[in-house]
Amino acid sequence: MKKYTAIKYLMLLFFFTGVAFAQSHGLYALMYNIQRVCKAYQIDVGMQDIRVEKDFEDNLILVLKLDARRTNYNSTLMTGFFVVAKAMRMTPNSPEIDKVTLEISVADRQSIVIFSTVDMADLILLENGSITPAEFREKIESM
């Protein structure tokens, strides 16, 4: 009986250690927080919808894939950027992301995919409230 109890405790120890490491580990923790914040805003996002890429200048770009309807594209765009900024703030040991790109699939008669990219500095200003959503939207449109 003692043998099984010891094995049980060892298995629990390995499980909780693995979960704690995975939750605190940089990129995975960021992706997990993006999923969690998206869920709070009722946006369905899976791990396969979040990826990190490098551009030609070796900048890290976080790409978030979202679905929108024709009538809620603007709110999905703003919410998506806000979600990423909030998740970055919640993840202290996240990788140094330089830009964020939203890949929004707009369902209509024809499927349209729209890409919007913004610098991380502008995203932090939006999340802090230093710039208004209208000013942020103008920055997106000017890029």
CATH value at residue 116: 3.30.300
What are the tens digits of pLDDT across the range 9-50?
A: 767 666 666 655 554 467 888 899 999 999 999 989 999 999
**pTM of the predicted model as reported, rounded to 2 decimal places:** 0.76
The whole-number pLDDT of residue 45 equals 92
Return d(Cα 93, Cα 23) in angstroms, integer. Answer: 11
Domain span at residue 26 reads 2-142
What are the tens digits of pLDDT across the range 53-108?
A: 988 888 889 999 999 887 888 889 899 999 999 998 888 887 888 999 999 998 87
φ, ψ of residue 46 to 5 degrees: the values are -110, 170
User: Does residue 28 contact residue 50 with C-beta atoms inside 8 Å?
Assistant: no
Q: How many domains does the chain have?
A: 1
